[in-house]
Structure 1
Amino acid sequence: MSQCSGDGLASRRAESSPLLGNRATDGSCTSYNPAGYDTNEAVTFQPSAPLPKKQVLLLCYARLMEPLAFFSIFPYVAEMVQRNGNLADSDVGFYSGLVEAAFSAAQAVTLLLWGTLADRFGRRSMLMYSLAGMATGTALFGTASELWHMILFRSLTGLFSGANLIIRTMIGELCTPDSQAAFFSWYAVAGNLGIFIGPIIGGALADPANQYPSVFGDSAFLQRHPYALSGFTTAAMTGTAVLITAVAIPETLPEQAGGSLSRACQIVQQDSPQPSMRQILQTTQVQAVLGGYAYVMFIAIAFMAIHPVALYTPVHHGGLGLSTAQITIFIAAVSASETVWLMIAFPVLQRRVGTKRVLVVCSWLWPLFFAGYTVTSALEREGQTIAAVVVAVFNIVVGPGAFMAFTAVQLAVNEASPSPGVLGKLNSSIEILSSIIRSVVPGIATAVFAVGARGNILGGYLAWVVLIVSTMGLPLILKRFPDDHVRC
């Protein structure tokens, strides 16, 4: 371990230590090397140095761009597929799913490469290339006039979608142990904001010649390419993130940052061999954290796929039977509640009880949150509307606390890294996991919901029951997590 205090600089020694380690006996802060690799680093905390809030906020702005690119096409992709492919109504769903999945599949193929490039050539330059490629792919997608063009350009966007893992790594290098909970809450909220406004931009700007004939009705280009304005707008926003990264965000890779990076915890890395990806993944602590991350993502992605379908599905089929306007309000309320939990509750809880215990709390909240939807639907089915509303409101306020698990597992991943020099590789592995899960799970989850609703299996609540049962495995996985250390 390496010791750090206000007095000066101490060297990291090669020794095996748990993921989150123990409190230093001399009262100084401790930097952790969970895998026991001799990275030969020196670390010093400078408590008086200002926290890099501006840089983290700008990185969070860049964080918006990947969910913008991914979700902005959702309002019009089915119509675009049918228009470009001249498909029968029964085939639209399949090809829409194929176009959507192309992004995540391509992303999964290249994420490890992005992590490796960021570790070798620097975080900032690779972030700029990634964002620029995403902008190009998004703009081209809006002009696609053939089905295969859509798949090609969607895949291109996914190939360049390495920004999130780079941003995740940069925030981890900018923050101190005491500030990381707050900073990663900002990161999570930025992602949620991108998920929220992406479909709004896509839907509002799709087919503008017909939506806004007084403004765009005379544009022959927009008549030929009705989805170009949406793609160009999203690409332009991503372009601003490229410029901001170039002029306002510092390099955080320790070898390149040197003394120019102002941060509360400055890491000076000397020449030493870094562990390989195989060595990293063979570490017990890393395996436990990656398993927990994959499990949390599986539960969350399955819920995100089922949620809008369940809100729309009639009550007698196991849903809530809400209108489009009501669904928008409901989802906005859930998002607002989640934001409050992440911004206010999570940093306090994480400091007081630690990352592992926050995840334990989330493992209790998940099944209660999912059960709330079945109870609300069942009460509405029995004509108990007031009781259903009360349960729904309680569920909206309390249930989204389970989403703290997203940020908690990210902190665990960062703390599991054996060295700052391989943080990009480790983050790329979890982004690959995320992409694979995002490619596969939604189709399976919605199929299970459809089977349950069509056959009235378990009253139409089959998917919710499967989700609730699935959450039971999370506490078992968390038992493999090392205990948290007490921060100084």
Structure 2
Amino acid sequence: MEQWKKNLVVLWFGQFLVMAGMTMIIPFLSLYLQFDLGLTDQHEIGIWAGIIFAGNFVTSFIFQPIWGRLADRYGRKMMLLRSGFGMAVVMALMGFATTPWHLLLLRMLNGTISGFNPASIALISSTTPKNRMGFAMGTIQSGGIAGTILGPFIGGLLADTIGFRPIFYLTGAFLFAASLLALFIVKEPFDRAKAAAREQVSVLQGFRQLSGIRELTALFAVTFLIQFAMMSPMTLIPLYVQELHGTTENLAFFAGFVGSVTGLSNLVASPLLGRLSDRIGAERVLGCALLGAALAFIPQALAGTVWQLLAARFLLGVFLGGLIPAVNALIRKYTPDGMESRAYSFNTSTLSLGNMIGPITGGALSGWIGIQGLFILSGVLLLANAAWVWQSLLRKRPVRSKA
């Protein structure tokens, strides 16, 4: 097997385990706070659960660009191993938490040392042949999506069989094993002498330099708006399903199905649309997928039954499957040599920002416009972003691919 394919296989499993570990606590976090950490007031449990879950994204948003700068200086594999082994230890320590503060601080520490995903993408982008870039980006994306989908399911299943604390120990062990595989199998042709000879700029200077490239600014906006559009109605979807379903029978099943069906279609579509972008160009796939995703929010707002909502959410996932791989491939195309890791880290920061702002904004606006209004708002924002992408990347196809 060619080395780039070995890298892709190992890092696919790494992405899966990292994202599964991040989302595995969703089904039992409130129960862990109640039965193991001693909270009794339901309102207090809800507040702590929200803060603890968000803590990871807050610190990740702040520290990702710093790790990206170091990755461009010392190598992506080194940053990948730092993050993988570090998260394995922190995840295991979560099983020893005795107060909510312990769990919050560990989640924030986890976000601080995270960076496995952007380092993986940067490493894949630097080792994959250009004519297979779309396929590789789509495949690596499917690993993260699979972890995000199956993480809550696995967490809920394990909570009923082995208890809460052992889940953290098991997840830490899996992350450690994935990092060991990366240590011995993943190869990166990184020239440290060449990297050291480049002008070293600060995180702020790097951001100014990259944000001055209009194509990258448009791509960062796509990442932010994807997460914002996905997360803003997320906490309200169970209520929307209840309204459409009209009964409490099998309500939890349908609510979970609606929440996961987008990820399932995304998982299937990502490698296929990534392969298509290798043939027709990532810009075209991005433009069509962005327009399709924007329009797919409209039938969600107009749904009259749960099955109509499921179909619309499935369609949305298909278009989302073309967005992230295309964005990652184009970031590699328009980023100056030696700044790839930093660009992917800034992109991860915008993703974390969307994860933070989306639910807050959705909750704040839901009282005025309802969940249907949130779907329409998300569609309008993505349409505006599609116009921006068309102006920046499609109207005048640039000749250059590197600054």
Q: 1:325 matched to which residue of 2?
A: 253
Whether 1:483 and 2:393 are equivalent positions in the alignment is no
Q: Secondary structure of 2:130's partner?
A: coil
Instruction: Judge which range, 350-359 or 190-199, deviates more.
Output: 350-359
| Mapped contact 1:318–1:461 kept (Cα < 8 A) | no
* 1:451-462 correspondence to structure 2 within 5 Å: 451=367, 457=369, 461-462=372-373
Look up the match of 1:426.
343
Question: How many pairs does the alignment contain?
Answer: 394
Amino acid at match of 2:253: A
SS at 1:471's partner residue?
A: helix
Q: 1:401 aligns with which of 309, 314, 318?
A: 318
Pair 1:170–1:407, CA change in 2 (3 A): same
Q: Paired residue for 1:474? A: 385
Aligned twin of 2:237: 310
- Give the corresponding residue for 1:86: 39
CA contact (8 A) 2:12 2:139 kept: yes
Q: How does 1:330-409 map to 2 (within 5 A)?
A: 330-348=258-276, 350-376=277-303, 379-380=304-305, 389=307, 391-392=308-309, 394-396=311-313, 398-403=315-320, 404-409=322-327
Cα displacement string for residues 14-44 of structure 1 (whole angstroms, at most 9, x for unaligned residues)? xxxxxxxxxxxxxxxxxxxxxxxxxxxxxxx
User: Is 2:58 the counterpart of 1:58?
Assistant: no
Cα distance in 2 for residues equivalent to 1:130 and 1:318: 43
**CA deviations over 1:258-314 (Å, ceiling 9, x no partner):** xxxxxxxxxx88944366652663357634323432343333343245246324535
3-state SS of paired residue (1:66): helix
Distance of aligned partners of 1:439 and 1:253 in 2 relative to their CA distance in 1, 3 Å threshold = farther
1:69 Cα deviation from its structure 2 partner: 2.6
Q: 1:241 to 1:307 in 2, by over 3 A?
A: same
CA contact (8 A) 2:65 2:342 kept: yes
Structure showing greater radius of gyration is 1
Amino acid paired to 1:293: F
Distance 2:256 2:115 in 1: 30
CA contact (8 A) 1:111 1:429 kept: yes
TM-score (norm 1): 0.73
Call closer, same or farther: CA 1:315–1:64 in 2, change over 3 Å: closer
Instruction: Give the letter aligned to residue 76 of structure 2.
Output: R
Q: Which moves more between the two structures, 431-440 or 145-154?
A: 431-440
CA gap 1:108/1:200 in 2 versus in 1, 3 angstroms: same
Distance in 1, Cα, partners of 2:68 & 2:10: 20
- 1:184-234 Cα offsets, whole Å, 9 max, x none, are 00111001011012112321222xxxx44xxx6xxxxxxxxx521110111
Shift, 1:50, TM fit: 4.5
Q: For residues 52-95 of structure 1, what are the alpha-carbon distances to aligned partners after superposition, in whole Å with 9 as ceiling and x for unaligned?
A: 21221111111123312321111111222344252521232222
Confirm or deny: 8 A CA contact 1:188 1:406 kept in the other structure.
yes
Separation of aligned partners in 1, 2:55 and 2:246: 29
Measured in 1, the distance between the counterparts of 2:92 and 2:206 equals 40
Per-residue deviation, 1:106: 1.6
Q: Which amino acid aligns with 2:181?
A: I
CA distance in 2, matches of 1:140, 1:63: 21
Matches within 5 A, 1:160-239: 160-206=113-159, 211-212=160-161, 226-239=163-176
Contact 1:302 1:442 in 2 (8 A): no
Please report how far the alpha carbon of residue 396 of structure 1 lies from its aligned counterpart in structure 2 after TM superposition. Answer: 4.9
Q: Which runs of 5+ in 1 are unaligned?
A: 1-48, 217-225, 257-267, 381-387
Deviation per residue, 1:112-142 (Å, 9 max, x gap): 2222222222222321121111111111112
Contact 1:112 1:425 in 2 (8 A): yes
Task: Note the C-alpha offset of 1:368.
Answer: 2.3
Superposition pairs for residues 262-277 of structure 1, below 5 Å?
A: 271-273=197-199
- Take 1:483 and 1:250, find their aligned partners in 2: how far apart are those partners? 34
Please give the per-residue CA displacement for 1:375-403, whole angstroms capped at 9, x wherever unaligned. Answer: 22xx33xxxxxxx74x4565355332321
Give the drift of 1:173.
Answer: 0.5
| Structure 2 partner of 1:11 | none
Give me the whole-angstrom Cα distance separating, in 2, the residues matched to 1:113 and 1:189.
26
Structure 1 pair 320/164, CA: closer, same or farther in 2 (3 Å)? Answer: farther
Percentage of matched positions with identical amino acids: 20
Query: Take 1:80 and 1:476, find their aligned partners in 2: how far apart are those partners?
Result: 45
* CA 1:54–1:375: 2 relative to 1, 3 Å: same
Q: Is the 1:369–1:400 contact (alpha carbons within 8 Å) kept by the matching residues of 2?
A: no
Read off the aligned partner of 1:240 and give its amino acid letter.
Answer: A
Specify which structure has the higher proportion of helix. Answer: 2
Structure 1 residues 355 and 129: alpha-carbon distance in aligned structure 2, compared to 1, 3 A threshold: same
Contact preservation (8 Å) 1:318, 1:374: no
SS in structure 2 of the partner of residue 251 of structure 1: coil
Between the aligned partners of 1:270 and 1:143, the Cα distance in structure 2 is 41
Question: Structure 2 length as normaliser, TM-score?
Answer: 0.87
1:94 corresponds to which letter in structure 2? Answer: I
- Which residue type is aligned with residue 355 of structure 1? A
Amino acid at match of 1:431: T
Q: Deviations over 1:420-448 (max 9, x none)?
A: x2211222221222222222322222443
Give 1:317 shift: 7.7
Residue in structure 2 matching 1:298, options 216, 219, 225: 225
Q: State the distance in 1 between where 2:84 and 2:185 align.
A: 15
SS in 1 for 2:88: helix
Contact 2:23–2:152 (8 Å) recurs in 1: yes
Distance 2:363 2:246 in 1: 13
Task: Write out aligned runs for 1:126-141 (5 A).
Answer: 126-141=79-94
